[in-house]
Amino acid sequence: MYSEPLRITVVLFEGFELLDVFGPVQLLQAVPDVSVVFAGPDGGPVASSQGVEVVPTMSYGQIEPADALLIPGGKGTRQLVGDESFLSWLREVGAQAPWVASVCTGSAVLAAAGLLEGYTATSNKRAYSWATSFGGDVSWQPEARWVHDRNRWTSSGVAAGMDMTVALIAHLVSDSAAIDAANFAEYDAHRDSEWDPFARLYGLAPASGDEAERGDVTFGQSGDAHGR
């Protein structure tokens, strides 16, 4: 638990997922003494996967020490995992951060940068096979809404980042602060990190008998399993 103001830096890149960023940010900015800043490649507008552009607070080169780094997922992660210049930068700033968190396929980027070595982690379930192909010594958990392992936080896909953020606020600030943030957003957060019907939807875990009978894990699955 922190007694001083928390500073969290969100790392933006071309093709980031909007909800991966602004779901958690909505919750974080409802907490007193928490500040959120945004870092982009060169300080100019950064386009999301949805086409919406965000103007960052600073460029990567201007990043200052923060209490936590947040790495979103999105289609742009497919390029970042092979961008050695970016990975080298992320490895350096991530090693200095007391806490590092990712949403969705952001964990693939953390793994590619070596920031999940020796850690337990999870990722987007639709893109799980691809995301978990990175990193050498990562204990990937196929059935988890989010995973907290020491100073690493990783969530499943997209909206799961909001559930992780509620847990992160509870851990770093207080449970009452987490509840207040969720209530402010009128968000009914899942507080159980092991709640993960999407692992079963995408065949990463067996469906329970009741779920199989009710069809609870089908959700009308369709389309190309491109993930995020």
Q: What's the CA gap between 82 and 88, in Å, rounded?
A: 11
How far apart, in whole angstroms, are the C-alpha atoms of residue 141 and residue 131?
12
Q: Using the 8-state DSSP alphabet, how is residue 206 labeled?
A: P
Active site residue 129: no
Q: Check if the beta carbon of residue 13 is closer than 8 Å to that of residue 41.
A: yes
Query: Which of 124, 92, 90 is CA-nearest to residue 10?
Result: 90
Active-site annotation holder among 39, 90, 104, 177: 104
Residue 108 near residue 76 (C-beta atoms within 8 A): no
The residues assigned a catalytic role are 104
